[in-house]
A and B are shown apart, each in its own frame.
Chain A
Amino acid sequence: MLQNLLSPEFFNAILRATTPILFASLAASVAAKSGITNMALEGIMLFAALFGVVFSAMTGNFAGGLLLTMIAGGLIGLLLAFFVLNLKTDEILAAIAINLMATGGTVLLMLAISGDRGSSTSIASVSAPRIVIPLVDKIPFLGQILSGQNLMTYLSILAVVVMHLFLYKTPLGLKIRAVGENKNAAESVGISAKKIQYIALILSGVLASMGGYFLSGGYMNMFTKDMSAGKGYIALAASAMGGDTPIGGFLVSLLFGAAQALANMMQLTDIPHELIQMVPYLTTLVGLGIYSYAGMKRRQRLAGK
């Protein structure tokens, strides 16, 4: 067991398991930075998982599939933004509605397209390729971890860098952070908070859809019913615990990814698999509790000072 834990395969698996959570956690953080909790991540991921399969089969290549999926994800983000920002729908209830529609809508669509209601095996989708990085793959140990990952995994890590630069180094990122933290201050210097929040939610939808795409076009090679399995919710916790920053979210996602990878590996042991399935959720719950408790104590100290 211990030997397995130290093997490069395990670390490789961590990165794989981290990918969808990471995309979604980046999606959660950009929305949170603009001041909105995007719980619809779960539904967007689920939709995107199906769209990825459908679109890649339609276009015949993964890139076309990914691009169309990202557009679709952005459109769902736009829909959420319209209801929350224009029609003043409660953001949590709007998200619940979108998630419900995703649960039903994906099955409905899959059935209409493939005639199958459990999984999309009959759709000839194209997964994102695995990439062997020349030279890096020759490095002992590290090479086995870093090389040979799915393209989406590399993209997710790239996305951390891009999102960090975007949020902290560009004018738009600055505006998003300003709106989320003090809407009045932002509006007092002529920034339209609504416009900024629209942009943030669309971007959030795009990022979540990339995570969804990976589920059916990387992690697995098909869509199965309800395959997001709460990863969107886990990502919400990851983002919050990472202080809603891309890098913080990345680190916490790695932790949750490790929990998932550990769970996957424990499948080989005699521990009942139902208990193993609990590991990622339990890790999230405990992590959230500890993180919140520390935050509460810190606030109390500040107030008592």
Chain B
Amino acid sequence: MNSVKRFDMFRMFFSVLVALLISFVIIFFVSEEPVTAIVTLITGPLKSKRNMGDVVVAMVPLIFTGTGVCIMFSANQINLATEGGFHLGGLVAAAVVLKMGLPAGLSPIVAICMAALVGAVFCAIPAVMKIKTGSPELVSSLMINYLSLWFCTFILMHFLQDPSVGSASYKLPAESELPTLIKGTNIHAGLLVALLVAVLGYVFLYKTRTGYELRLTGENEAFARYSGINIVKVILISQMVGGVIAGMGGGVELLSPIYSRFSWVGLLGYGWDAIIICTLAKKNPLYTPLAALFLAYLRTGASIMARYTDVTLEIVQITQGIIILLVVAEQFLSGMKHRMIAKEAKASLKEEEVA
């Protein structure tokens, strides 16, 4: 690892630290018992096996959408449709296990595959609109996220709803639930799928032809074109692969032990979380589990804090916002970076003289 990368790592940790400090200051302002709140936030997730399990469970959807966004953003497409793709994936999985009546072993697999397929089609919409009409993918993807939300709610309320519970589907059949891996926790088989997806995402981006084409296009479209790469094809594939992963993530999440019904009547925000995961992982899917672990830990700590103190869970979103702002601020600590590069350049000059 060269020193520039090392510096970027340092800057990232520093940014995270600053964000946490600011969040603690906010806690001091809003809370009657700030010290207890902060201690709970930090140590809560380690207090019990169950809590530790919750951290791991919370990682799963983040790894999925984070990996999806890493791939989509690597092609330099600011497509935010992972949010809606994830949501639709959950709905499709619920619909499959509730309505298709497949045999127990097959049902979750088919459900997740269908979720992935629908996610791919959904996330391709902004790309197709961009290619065919020139619409900015940013705005169109924001709009279809809301369409996804209301479409899913519509299907839920009119085709899947269990009248006895209100806005939730019938209970999902127990045999379609993903098996738990560790007793006493909710850690489920979805984690393995998520980790596999992160690894495969890495392999796709960094070890396959298409991934290579995708990164070339994302870094310099003119260069990719000059090299003979079909840019339209690359953009479309990148968004569909991202969509597959997002949709799959929705399916896995819904079939995990933490849900017994489909009851998502608001956007869950995993698409936005994915952007911070992608930022922290520097667009490399292999690092998404680490970034997800950090975020999941923070989330779990915050939700324990919310349970036992007067500080609410939403503090985490503020922390996340600050992290994004600082991590992507090119000029943040740029003076320090410049001094370091200059020092190194001088050192290497000296080396050359000696040699």
Contacts and interface: CB of A to CB of B under 8 A. Distances in A.
Determine whether A and B are in direct contact in the complex, meaning some CB atoms lie less than 8 angstroms apart: yes
Interface of A: 37, 39, 83, 86-90, 92-94, 96-101, 103-105, 107-109, 111-112, 117, 226, 229-230, 233-234, 236-237, 240, 272, 274-275, 277-278, 281-282, 284-285, 288-290, 292-293, 295-296
A240 B332 contact: no
Given A101-B318, A101-B321, 14 more contacts: A37-B138, A101-B320, A104-B317, A111-B312, A240-B136, A272-B158, A274-B150, A274-B157, A274-B158, A281-B146, A285-B147, A292-B136, A295-B134, A296-B134
A278 B147 contact: yes
A37 B136 CA distance: 12
Contact of B324 (A93, A112, A233): A93
A28 to B, nearest CB: 11
Nearest to B157: A274
Nearest to A280: B146
Contacts, number: 147
Contacts of B266: 226
Interface in B125-171: 129, 132-136, 138-140, 142-147, 150-151, 153-154, 157-158
A97 B325 contact: yes
Contacts of B276: 100
B140 A285 contact: yes
Contact of B135 (A97, A274, A289): A289
Chief secondary structure at chain A's binding surface: helix
A232 to B, nearest CB: 9
7 contacts: A103-B317, A104-B316, A108-B26, A112-B30, A229-B146, A233-B139, A284-B139
Interface of B: 26, 29-30, 78, 129, 132-136, 138-140, 142-147, 150-151, 153-154, 157-158, 266, 269, 272, 275-276, 279, 311-312, 314-318, 320-322, 324-325, 328-332
Nearest to B78: A92
B30 A108 contact: yes
B135 A288 contact: yes
A17 to B, nearest CB: 16
Contact of B322 (A101, A103, A284, A296): A101
B271 to A, nearest CB: 10
